[in-house]
Amino acid sequence: MQNTIIGHQNIISQLQNAVKSERVAGAYLFAGEQGAGKETVALFFANLILCESDEASVPCAACRACRKIKSGNHPDLQIIRPDGAQLKIDQIREMQQRISYQPLEGPRKIYIIANTEKMNVYTANSLLKTLEEPPAASTIILLTENLNAMLPTIRSRSQILTFYPMPTEELANALVDNFSTNKEDATNAAILSRGIVGKAITLVEKGIGDSQEVPEILDETDLIAAFRLAEQFEKDLDRLDELVTWYRDLLLVQQGAPKEMITHIDAVDRLQTLAPRYSHIRLQRAIKTVLQTKSLLQKINVSKTITLEVMCIKLIQGR
């Protein structure tokens, strides 16, 4: 497993302290966008709990437990993922049967459940029973991309840790330190990924130019980042159309439009998370700004750079 984890230092320290002081909770809920690092940190935590080396604050990578985890066959660690579009009640029931037995090799049995938001209310209620009376020597780590979609009763029985996007500069520096990438590419990846570590790493590995990610100025806060984005648009003006369809999708999602009407259907979960953050008027204004910019760019004697920079500033000021 990856030994250096990028970002989330506070969360990691908290989990390290829990292991060190033997105060590991029965249930955790890790919330954050896809790619934010929830699963990486959950695996790190599980590995730290199961590692046989006593003094380590990071998994030793050498003991029997660490080696088993690395090869994906430690009997006390299981990752459960949605079977198709949903986490099914049978998957939860199977876990409930197993979790009642004592751990086989480590101090605890650990279950990581991914995409917990993809559970219907019956499955969630079934899971709730285990969270209400967690078997001794067990820890369940729930991962979710949408904290608001979780039953309040599940939230209240879990220790919630939120994975926020990383600040541009910090993420860019970490990318330079951990990958053989230059500062400029790292900064662009940090901006385009909106601080989401997993996306930034994919961008650095794939090469920035191949990114299909929709840049989202409405999320950006600092001007430097906006200017960098303006540069990206200048290299590929088609992205302005993507921006328009993205904002339109947000408007449609806000109004509960059917999925057939959504353009960025692959990103529908993300659209649903973002839609409540923006007002209707702000999105309409953003679309207008981008369209005006497009028609301005058709004219001769217009500086592309300045026009795009002005657009980015307008989009930010709309907040």
Using rule CB under 5 A, residue 63 touches Zn ion: yes
Nearest approach in angstroms of CB 70 to Zn ion is: 10
- Interface pick for Zn ion out of 66, 99, 201, 253 (rule CB under 5 A): 66
Instruction: Give the rounded distance of the alpha carbon of 132 from its chain centre.
Output: 27
CB of 293 to Zn ion, least distance (A): 55
Q: 23-52 mask for Zn ion (x: CB under 5 A)?
A: ----------------------------x-
Confirm or reject binding of residue 58 to Zn ion (CB under 5 A). no
CA distance 281 to 253: 14
* Number of residues located near Zn ion, criterion CB under 5 A: 5
Q: 284-305: b or e for each residue (b if 16 or more CB lie within 10 Å)?
A: ebbbebbeebbeebeeeeeeee
Q: In the range 155-194, which residues lie near Zn ion by CB under 5 A?
A: none
Nearest residue (CB) to Zn ion, 57 versus 148: 57
Residue 61 has which token pair? 């990578």
Q: What span, in angstroms and rounded, lies between the C-alpha atoms of 262 and 265?
A: 6
Stretch that binds Zn ion, among 53-61, 179-187, 211-219, 303-311 (CB under 5 A): 53-61
Helix residue ranges per DSSP H, 21-133: 38-50, 64-70, 89-99, 121-132
Nearer to Zn ion, 60 or 128 (CB): 60
Given the rule CB under 5 A, which of 63-71, 105-113, 245-253, 254-262 is the region that contacts Zn ion?
A: 63-71
Backbone φ and ψ for 113, nearest 5 degrees, come out as: -110, 115
- Total length of the chain: 319
Q: In 3D, which of 150, 82, 84, 83 has the Cα closest to residue 113?
A: 82
* Shortest CB 106 distance to Zn ion, Å: 10
CB-wise, 66 or 166, nearer to Zn ion?
66
Question: Quick one: which segment of 62-70, 106-114, 151-159, 253-261 binds Zn ion (CB under 5 A)?
Answer: 62-70
Query: Rounded to 5, what percent of the chain is helix, strand, coil?
Result: 55, 10, 35
Under the criterion CB under 5 A, does residue 53 sit at the interface with Zn ion? yes
Residues forming the site for Zn ion (CB under 5 A)? 51, 53, 60, 63, 66
